[in-house]
């Protein structure tokens, strides 16, 4: 693949995070440069550069069950100005939670964007447990035995320009069972309580919005 025809777009503000690490793995096979989504200023010019690529790979974190708002803003800007013509679009989304269903909405957003703007949706990869990696290699993932070959296969699809099925990442990750989920949720709740107290808040105080109404 001509390296100048691929755009590797990182939608995380963290330049050394998991989204960037995954894109770097893609870049090792496809070539091209990783570009970071500007976090300030207008996105008009940036949206124009997307149209010059033949293949676009977007990798970003899951923020409240989908991609960060700044990426949605880019998609809206690019959609308004139009001008896409068959560019191949792939998506990668990674989230902190060790699940797939809580992050998948990001890929659905990309698919809708592609369908409404004359791009060709080629599929994506959802990675749960991305926060634990925190930019470290995928070989450190808790499901590394299945996740690494699956992601490598996903990269080969990008390099070959073929589409990737959801089953590729679905079969590579098994969500934790009920018992582990319960322990995990208790742990996360205790972390939230600890942080609230650390910053001088009372965890048992009524909700801020309810206080305003009263
Ligand atoms: C504002 C914010 C919202 C987040 N929302 C979620 C979420 O809804 N679900 C989840 O699993 N992880 C969530 N996370 C965790 C990130 O998805 C996770 O840390 C991810 O690995 C960050 O990717 P990065 O290293 O590429 O920035 C959130 C993180 C932040 C900062």
pLDDT digits (tens, 9 = 90+) for 157-204: 999 999 999 999 999 999 889 999 999 899 989 999 999 999 999 999
Hey, whose CA ends up nearest to atom 31 of ligand 1? 63
Share of the chain above pLDDT 90, in %: 90
Q: Are residues 161 and 180 in the same domain?
A: no
Q: Are residues 87 and 130 in the same domain?
A: yes
* Same-domain check for residues 127 and 191: no
Co-location of 137 and 206 in the same domain: no
pLDDT of residue 210: 79
1 C-alpha vs ligand 1 centroid, how far in Å? 32
- Reported as a pLDDT band with limits 50, 70 and 90, residue 214 is low
Ligand 1 pocket at CB < 6 A = 12, 14, 17-19, 61-65, 94-97, 102, 130-131, 135
Same domain? For 118 and 192 the reply is no
Asked whether residue 43 falls in the same domain as residue 113, the answer is yes
Residue 14 in this model has a pLDDT that exceeds 90: yes
Question: DSSP E strands: which ranges in the chain?
Answer: 6-10, 33-36, 55-61, 88-94, 120-127
Q: What pTM was estimated for this model as a whole? A: 0.91
Closest ligand 1 atom, CA of 66?
A: 8
Work out how many domains the chain is built from and give that number: 2
Statement to judge: residues 186 and 156 lie in one domain? no
Whether residue 1 has pLDDT greater than 50: no
Are residues 153 and 191 part of one domain? Answer: no
Decide if 106 contacts 69 (C-beta within 8 A). Answer: no
Q: Decide if pLDDT at 4 tops 70.
A: no
Cα(90) to centroid of ligand 1, in Å?
A: 20
Same-domain check for residues 24 and 78: yes
CA-nearest of 63, 74, 59 to 18 is 59
* CA-closest candidate to residue 9, choices 52, 64, 42: 52
Residues 129, 88, single domain; the answer is yes
Q: Are residues 153 and 208 in the same domain?
A: no
CATH number at 98 reads 3.40.50.360
Residue 57 sits in the same domain as residue 73: yes
Domain of 56? Answer: 3-174
């Amino acid at each position: 693949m001509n390296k100048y025809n691929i755009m590797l777009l990182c939608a995380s503000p963290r330049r050394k995070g998991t989204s960037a690490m995954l894109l770097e793995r893609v870049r090792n096979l496809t070539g091209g440069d990783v570009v970071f989504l500007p976090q300030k200023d207008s996105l008009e010019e940036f949206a124009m550069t997307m149209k010059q690529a033949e293949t676009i790979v977007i990798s970003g974190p899951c923020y409240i069950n989908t991609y960060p708002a700044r990426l949605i803003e880019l998609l809206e800007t690019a959609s308004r100005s139009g001008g896409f013509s068959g560019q191949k679009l792939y998506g990668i989304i990674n989230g902190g939670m060790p699940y797939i269903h809580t992050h998948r909405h990001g890929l659905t957003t990309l698919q809708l964007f592609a369908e409404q703007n004359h791009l060709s949706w080629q599929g994506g990869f959802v990675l749960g447990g991305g926060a634990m990696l925190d930019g470290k290699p995928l070989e450190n993932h808790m499901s590394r035995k299945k996740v690494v070959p699956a992601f490598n296969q996903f990269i080969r699809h990008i390099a070959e320009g073929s589409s990737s099925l959801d089953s590729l990442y679905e079969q590579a990750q098994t969500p934790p069972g009920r018992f582990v989920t319960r322990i995990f949720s208790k742990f996360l709740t205790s972390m939230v309580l600890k942080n609230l107290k650390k910053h001088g808040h009372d965890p048992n105080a009524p909700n801020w919005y309810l206080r305003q109404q009263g």
